Structure 1
Amino acid sequence: MSAAITTTIDIVASPQAVWEVLTDFAAYPDWNPFMRRVEGTPRVGTKLVVHLSPPGGRGMRFKPTVLVANPGQELRWLGKLGFSGLFDGEHSFVLTANADGTTHLTHSERFSGILVTLLKGTLKNTRAGFDAFNQALKQRVETADFPR
């Protein structure tokens, strides 16, 4: 069984400016309502520690492995609940430059595993968390002192 969440938002800044804020994990507690803390380095093969606080849901901590870290383009990681195949989530942030110099962010996650059906109800809170994250990222980037 699988399920997916995909959200998008346009940000009035370059992909590099968005990347700078997206990967400044130390600053997440200052602005991020969904991922309250992320520890680690966005480098392929490294493990992160992500602390989630979905709206209306229980907070949780997981340790995903970074799969892709292309500056200004894509950050993707794979997290697992328990062992592989139980409840896995491949989370991604894809940054695409728009013709007008702004950035289109596609923020998504693909869930797979035998527990997806049982946990599908919690994905509504997760979608709300993605939307809150996107809005907060947009505000943070657009009010930061970056060249536009």
Structure 2
Amino acid sequence: MTKEIKTEILINARPESIWEILTAFDQYPNWNPFIKSISGDQTVGTKLVVRVEPPEAKGMTFRPRVLAFEPNKEFRWIGHLLFSGLFDGEHKFELIDHGNGTTTFIQSENFKGILVSLFAKQLDNNTKRGFMEMNVKLKARAERS
């Protein structure tokens, strides 16, 4: 089973400003209502420690591996519940530069594994809401800078 959640928001800021916020992991607790913390090296192939707390759902801490880290464009990781194939999530932040001082921020996650169907309702509700809440806070923070 596979499932994708995808959200996007137009931000009145350049990609560099948004990227600076996204990669300042130590500041996440100050503004991010969904991803409460990220620690670790952003180098491709390394592992991060990520804490997510979707609205009205139990939070979880996991250790995803960085798949892509392209400044001002894309940050992507993959995490697994217990082991690969059970419940895997490939999370992606993408910045689309419109060349006019605005940027579309896309946050998405592709889920795969035998347990995805058990979590589908929570993903559609709580997790997607968490994405949208984070997007709104990121926009506000970037536009304030």
TM-score normalised to the size of structure 2? 0.97
Q: 1:6-30 CA deviation, whole Å, 9 max, x = no partner? A: 0000111111111000010000000
Q: Which residue of 1 aligns with 2:22?
A: 22
Aligned CA RMSD, in angstroms, stands at: 0.8
* Corresponding residue for residue 76 of structure 2: 76
In terms of mean alpha carbon deviation, does 35-44 or 6-15 score higher? 35-44
Q: Per the alignment, in what secondary structure is the counterpart of residue 75 of structure 1?
A: strand
Residue 37 of structure 1 corresponds to which residue in structure 2? 37
SS at match of 2:47: coil
Q: CA offsets, 1:51-98, max 9 Å, x none?
A: 111001001101100000000000000010011000000000110101
1:130 aligns with 2:138: no
Instruction: Give the Cα–Cα distance (whole angstroms) in 2 for the partners of residues 117 and 62 of structure 1.
Output: 20
Instruction: Work out the percentage of aligned pairs sharing the same amino acid.
Output: 50
TM-score normalized by the length of structure 1 = 0.95
Aligned length: 144
Unaligned runs of 5+ in 2: none
Q: CA deviation at 1:99?
A: 3.6
Secondary structure in structure 2 of the residue aligned to 1:54: coil
| SS across alignment from 2:41 | coil
Pairing 1:79-118 to 2, within 5 Å after superposition:
79-118=79-118
Shift in Å, 1:41? 2.2
